A and B are shown apart, each in its own frame.
Chain A
């Protein structure tokens, strides 16, 4: 199976833009997904298929892909966005893989 690599942490001031990257060879041909997880809670899907946003997710959450890297972008960061964020994709044999997670701290 393959790996997805995320930075362990990202710090951002309120109102600024946070960008979280996720890299892996399979992302060149497989979709990437993003989840937000707050302490003690289940993950919540915030972006699917690189850039689609589920119903109920604020517009400040967006995503993109370039080559083997997908990026989650949080524009106008709010204090409530402080959380762990995980990327996810799928291997060629249908094995689902998560990145190691990125802790977003709002300063």
Chain B
């Protein structure tokens, strides 16, 4: 069973770059079995897919965020990371990492982390 745990700074100033990390257990981020995703949810609002990365290095991201999103894998630490540049208050949200199983269909989320709150404020 794959387990995911997000971590981050909690607070970022406007215009800065946010960096979040998700630590994976139960499988390797180098595995061909999963796509690794980021999804966010502003308080009281719905879910928004941010982007995903595969072990090959292939990435996809939400067109609304694409120019600001950078995704990477750290195989030594078994982690995935999200960087989002030029943040504003609109980026304040709970950020979830989630795994999509390739063999079941790569476009839905079977395993989720508990989420980490990221607040953008000066």
**Residues of A that sit less than 8 Å from B by CB:** 1, 30-31, 33, 35, 41-45, 48-49, 54, 86, 88-90, 93-101
Contact = CB atoms under 8 A, between A and B. Distances in A.
A42 B105 contact: no
A1 B63 CA distance: 8
Given A31-B107, A45-B110, A90-B107, A95 B48 contact: no
Given A42-B112, A43-B109, A90-B107, A95 B49 contact: yes
A101 B47 contact: yes
A30 B107 CA distance: 10
A95 B62 CA distance: 6
Interface of B: 37, 46-49, 52, 60, 62-64, 96, 104-105, 107-110, 112-115
Contacts, number: 58
Contacts of B108: 31, 33, 45, 48, 88
Contact of A94 (B48, B60, B115): B60
A44 B63 contact: no
Contacts of B112: 42-44
B101 to A, nearest CB: 10
B69 to A, nearest CB: 12
Contacts of A96: 37, 49, 52, 62, 107
B60 A86 contact: no
A31 B105 contact: yes
A82 to B, nearest CB: 17
